[in-house]
Structure 1
């Protein structure tokens, strides 16, 4: 079980949190954490997204002409 310190709303202070045995196969990287003081559970979610790059506006679009 991995452990880290986070703020617990129930305990109203910084407490050690640990990841319980993960049934989903995340291992130590499990996003579910439990407060060792009161047992409150938190979900640490990371969001990854990619921004679309705008087209190069300095170059006009290529047009095809019929022969």
Structure 2
């Protein structure tokens, strides 16, 4: 079993968390962790974001006039 230390809300402190037997076949990469102190379960969610797109750049001036700051 994989183990790591995380803050547990129920125990109100840093506790050892372990991966319980995973029925989904994730093995050590299972996103569910269980506190060894109180048994509370947490779900570690990972997100993937695409590359951010920059907004279309507009020229600083229109018709040759500059805008006031």
User: Normalising to structure 1: TM-score of the pair?
Assistant: 0.75
Displacement over 6 Å in runs of 4+:
none
Where does residue 29 of structure 1 map in the other structure?
29
Where does residue 40 of structure 1 map in the other structure?
40
User: Matched residue pairs, number?
Assistant: 57
Report the secondary structure of 1:28's partner residue: helix
Deviation of 1:49 (Å): 1.8
User: Normalising to structure 2: TM-score of the pair?
Assistant: 0.73
Structure 2, unaligned runs of 5 or more: 58-69
